Chain A
Amino acid sequence: MAEDADHFAIAGRRLASRLLLGTSRYPSPAALADCVARAGPGLLTVSVRRSAGGGNAFYELLKEAGPPLVPNTAGCRTVAEACRTASMARELLGTNWVKLELIGDDETQAPDPFALVEAAEQLLREDYVVLAYCTEDLALCTRLAPIGSGQGLNHPERLALLRQRLAGSVLVVDAGIGRPSDAAAAMELGYDAVLLNTAVALAREPAPMAAAFRAAVDAGRTAYRAGIMPRHDMAQPSTLAPDIPVERYHPHKETQTQ
């Protein structure tokens, strides 16, 4: 296993980490900066919104933090709205990357898959790198490949199927991750990265939680690459009793005879 060769890239750009972090809902700008330092994220997501006139401090803080900034289209409900937001974000941040969100239902924030595909196609024609925020529907994700993101781990079997069917695509699990074990589980399924926000920002102590998620993403990824043992229906002792021949634990292994 070539651990040192496990690079992660989206659209040909190498990212420093498989943990991606949102910038919303932290108790303070200083807390956000601490979390970025502890998480070491591959990128930071931001939004673009009406300005209050001044306020360059947030931008300076993020620039200082270091990871690339990726704008989202949070709150957009139509294709036109999302494409305009992406265009303004592109000028604002000087990036053609966009996390495309198109909300179909206010109560659940569930994405509108039809508008999402239409907007993604339009943005791809305009040379954007589109990270589409979608559900784990196989046909939908196939349309949105190479890059998609799922909603948490509510349906791990669907996520596993998606990973299997879209083996060559970059797949990120986003939203619905509450604890580090969720992040590790997503990575164990072979997902390329995890995008988090609230689980860190709303922790009692966000910075240590950021560190915990970093460790969990690393653990899950390493486990996936190491090859997780298949599930067994019957228990097998992991310690060999001295009076039982080794062959009895490994009946498939040929006994060495001389």
Chain B
Amino acid sequence: MSAAAAITVRLNGEEREVAADSSAAQAVDAWRRDPAAPYAVSVNGEHVPRPRLAARALRPGDEIEVWTLRQGG
């Protein structure tokens, strides 16, 4: 493990500590329990398409939202 300090972000409304050099992809992958479930991610209110998540470095206070399919009318 590098000496990078941990930073705090919020993921779906809950605070999480991640390594300071984490990408959004790493944080999201660590959090998802069902790899088969479809999902899409936003960071600070902006949709970040999945192919770009690995390149999105996290900063302290980032708000990550992982969305999936729900019932709707």
Q: Which residues of A contact B (CB under 8 A)?
A: 22-26, 32, 45-51, 53-56, 58-59, 62, 69, 71-72, 74, 84, 87-89, 91-93, 197-198
Contacts and interface: CB of A to CB of B under 8 A. Distances in A.
Interface in B29-73: 31-34, 36-42, 45-47, 49-50, 65-73
A253 B50 CA distance: 71
Contacts of A56: 34, 36-38
Chain A binding surface SS class: mixed
B71 A23 contact: yes
A84 B69 contact: no
A86 to B, nearest CB: 9
A138 to B, nearest CB: 25
Given A50-B13, A91-B49, A58 B70 contact: yes
Contacts of B71: 22-26, 32, 46-47, 58
16 contacts: A23-B72, A23-B73, A46-B70, A48-B67, A49-B67, A49-B70, A50-B66, A51-B12, A54-B34, A58-B70, A58-B71, A59-B37, A71-B69, A74-B73, A88-B47, A198-B73
Contacts of A93: 38, 69
Contact of B40 (A25, A45, A47, A48): A48
Contacts of B12: 50-51
Among B34, B37, B42, B71, max chain A CB count under 10 A is at: B71
Contact of A46 (B41, B47, B50, B72): B72
B37 A55 contact: yes
A84 B47 contact: yes
Contacts of A54: 33-34, 37
Nearest to B32: A53
Among B37, B49, B73, max chain A CB count under 10 A is at: B73
B49 A92 contact: no
A89 B41 CA distance: 10
A59 B67 CA distance: 13
Given A88-B47, A89-B40, A91-B47, A62 B13 contact: no
Among A24, A26, A59, max chain B CB count under 10 A is at: A59
